[in-house]
Amino acid sequence: MVSASRDRRERAKKEASSGLKVSSVENEDLLYSTRPVRVPRPSRKHVHKPRKFRASLSPGTVVILLAGRHRGKRVVLLHKLEKSGMIVVCGPFSLNGVPLRRVNPSYVVATSTKVDVSTLDVSKYDDSYFERKGGEITMEVEDADGEAKKAAYKPSESRISDQKELDAAILAKVESNPVLKSYLGARFSLSKGQAPHMMKF
């Protein structure tokens, strides 16, 4: 093997000295690169896959929030957003202080309690509805000393009216069952000795 490669190199030198062109096959053997060749992978950024939701997350299910400022509260699931994979929930706000918002389904626990929301029109509450439009929904808030100011969230008038409309529709379903009303208003918590994986929600 060594002698064959040596013969090719000597033949190439002779051809180069005589003015002849070295063949492309022999040139590839002499100038072989030892570095690995990087092959670009096709991008999958624009490939849209349908979102997979748990079977327990159906519209009207009462879920428990596990993260965020409202963790531990029980809310009503309104519908699922296929584009972002989020779910739309509502407290209602007048009952437990949870407004209409998007939540990651990984941070909720679905319960066996249901609220009939089949008559509610929630089609307009998509991902674009929850995008903040700009200066109209921010306000200045003073700190404890009353000197420094920071921007805080302020809902628009249309958002407030939508919230009141949803609260009235959900409370109309809940008012008939006082146990369900107190259930939504109470915060979920665990005491010593309770194992959540042994519970049935």
Q: Is the pTM of this model over 0.75?
A: no
pLDDT band at 29 (very low <50, low <70, confident <90, very high): low
Q: Which two tokens stand for residue 141?
A: 């808030």
List Cα–Cα distances, 163 to 19, 54, 86, 100, 200, in angstroms.
Answer: 87, 27, 19, 7, 31
User: Is it the case that residue 102 has pLDDT exceeding 50?
Assistant: yes
- The per-residue pLDDT for range 160-197, each reduced to its tens digit, is 999 999 999 999 989 888 899 999 999 988 888 888 87
Classify residue 90 as exposed, middle or buried by CB count within 10 Å of its CB (0-12, 13-18, 19+).
Answer: buried
> Which residues, other chains included, contact 171 with Cβ-Cβ below 8 Å and sequence gap of 6+?
92, 94, 95
User: Is it the case that residue 107 has pLDDT exceeding 60?
Assistant: yes
- The per-residue pLDDT for range 121-146, each reduced to its tens digit, is 898 999 898 887 655 545 555 555 65
Measured between alpha carbons, how far is 171 from 187 in angstroms, rounded to an integer?
18
Mean pLDDT (the chain, rounded): 80
- The per-residue pLDDT for range 61-93, each reduced to its tens digit, is 999 999 989 999 999 999 999 888 899 999 899
pLDDT band at 114 (very low <50, low <70, confident <90, very high): very high
CB 116 within 8 A of CB 174: no
Measured between alpha carbons, how far is 171 from 95 in angstroms, rounded to an integer?
8
CB 181 within 8 A of CB 95: yes
